[in-house]
Structure 1
Amino acid sequence: MNDMAKHRTYSISDLAREFDITTRTIRFYEEAGMLEPERNGQTRIYNDEDRVKLKLILRGKRLGFSLAESRELIEMYDPTSDNAKQLHALRSKIQQSRAALEQQLADIQVMQNELDAAEERCLEALRELES
């Protein structure tokens, strides 16, 4: 395997295109300390580790994790271990997110019932006015 294959690099545009996000989003994660590209003058040079971190950040976002939660999980990663600690933490966060979503769903159902009842009262009042 040649050095180029071992150490692939990406421009900010490459990553933005690959993940269908803006370069501004990538710079935001960089400013937050989540990504640390090398620099060649003003040009950012991202490596495979940066790419994987970005992928994990975006996955965490889709799962409803905060940036701080994603950071915590990413920082737990240790390629020399079995990552059981990271996996337990991820599972815990998934369970917390699921519980929060279930509560939101219950709250939405209550609100829908209240809206239905309010609408029915309005319709009854209108029918009384019309008769």
Structure 2
Amino acid sequence: MTTPDEQETWTIAELADAFDVTHRTIRHYEELGLISPERRGTARVFHRRDRTRLALILRGKRIGFPLEEIRTIIDMYDETPGEEGQLVYLLDQIAARRADLEQRRADIEQTLRDLAEVEDRCHADLRDLRGA
């Protein structure tokens, strides 16, 4: 029996099941040119390259990259500056994403502190109004 790693091609249903995404999601990535399955009549036949690109797209989405950024990163592998340039660019994007998330975390923590302060004041004011 052939394992998914040994398979040469996949149908859209097989990829959708393997990555737990909808057929529509895969077709959307195809429409955007992020993956390019072979067409046999009306059937889409996905090769290892498509499967790898789909895995990279989904990983990029999970860590918060927009699709255009994912396209840039993935396409760099096949173009100049190649894999090394791709990795350097990706590291820069990771650093920027991390900095953005750290700032968001700091903003959320400050907002939570502000809410706690307002809540405490509301409770104190309510106690004063009730004469407790």
- TM-score (normalizing by structure 2): 0.89
The superposition leaves residues 66-105 of structure 1 with CA deviations (integer Å, 9 ceiling, x where unpaired) of: 10111001111049x8721011001000000000000000
What letter corresponds to residue 28 of structure 1 in structure 2? H
| Residue of structure 2 equivalent to 1:53 | 53
Unpaired segments of 5 or more residues in structure 1? Answer: none
Distance in 1, matches of 2:78 and 2:68, equals: 18
- Other-structure match for 2:29: 29
Query: How far apart are 1:33 and its partner, in Å?
Result: 1.1
Q: Does 1:10 align with 2:32?
A: no
CA RMSD of the aligned region, Å?
A: 2.0
The equivalent residue for 1:76 is: 76
Higher mean displacement: 118-127 or 81-90: 81-90
Q: Which runs of 5+ in 2 are unaligned?
A: none
| Paired positions, count | 126
TM-score (norm 1): 0.90
Distance in 2 (CA, whole Å) between partners of 1:54 and 1:88 is: 21
Q: Secondary structure at the match of 1:44?
A: strand
Displaced runs of 4 or more, over 6 A: none
Aligned-residue sequence identity (percent) comes to: 46
Cα 1:45–1:124 change in 2 (3 A) is same
